[in-house]
Amino acid sequence: IIREKGFDVQGIFRIRGKLKEVKELKQKIDNGEDLDEDCCNVHLVSTLVKAFLRELPVPILTFENYDAFMSVADSSGGEQIQKLADIMNSLPEHNYELAKFIFSLFHDLSEHSEKTQMTSDNLAKVISPNLIWKKELDIMDLSA
């Protein structure tokens, strides 16, 4: 739905779908119901994608890569590219494939920023908190 309809939608991944409709769509998907492309609007689907990513027990880019990922911003040019490649290559296979899919989608969306108003910078700001976050300290971790 995003690839078919999202390249012309202003604010894709920034504008949220209505919470009630997001919950209803999630329920349909969880129940294995077939969805057609007219089932819902792009903002609803993009909101659900972000929620799915954020609700994972371990982020796509993994807790272990948090510090390395944050240090990429302090690098430049070739070093930055190498650090990102190292992070990607360290991911479990399923995480790698999903990250590759997401980055490809966002690259394609950024090429339509004149219509969506979502530049690569804007897209990075709205998706990155859903791809990687710092692990919260667990009281059990402290007692180990």
**In the predicted structure, residue 54 carries a pLDDT above the cut 90:** yes
* Helix 93-110 / helix 120-131 crossing angle, nearest 10 deg: 160
Confidence band for 143, pLDDT divided at 50, 70 and 90: low
Closest to 125 in 3D by CA, of 1, 25, 11: 11
Confidence band for 140, pLDDT divided at 50, 70 and 90: low
Amino acid residing at 74: D
Domains of the chain: 2-135 (1.10.555.10)
pLDDT digits (tens, 9 = 90+) for 69-116: 888 888 888 899 999 999 999 999 999 999 999 999 999 999 999 999
Q: Is 112 exposed, middle or buried (0-12, 13-18, 19+ CB in 10 A)?
A: middle
Confidence band for 51, pLDDT divided at 50, 70 and 90: very high
Give the count of beta carbons closer than 10 Å to the beta carbon of residue 37. Answer: 9
**In the predicted structure, residue 144 carries a pLDDT above the cut 60:** no
- DSSP class of residue 64 equals G
Closest to 88 in 3D by CA, of 97, 96, 78, 80: 96
> What pLDDT, on a 0 to 100 scale, did the predictor assign at position 76?
84
Confidence band for 138, pLDDT divided at 50, 70 and 90: low
Top-confidence residue, 132 or 76: 132
Q: How confident is the prediction for the chain on average, in pLDDT?
A: 90
Confidence band for 4, pLDDT divided at 50, 70 and 90: confident
**In the predicted structure, residue 137 carries a pLDDT above the cut 80:** no
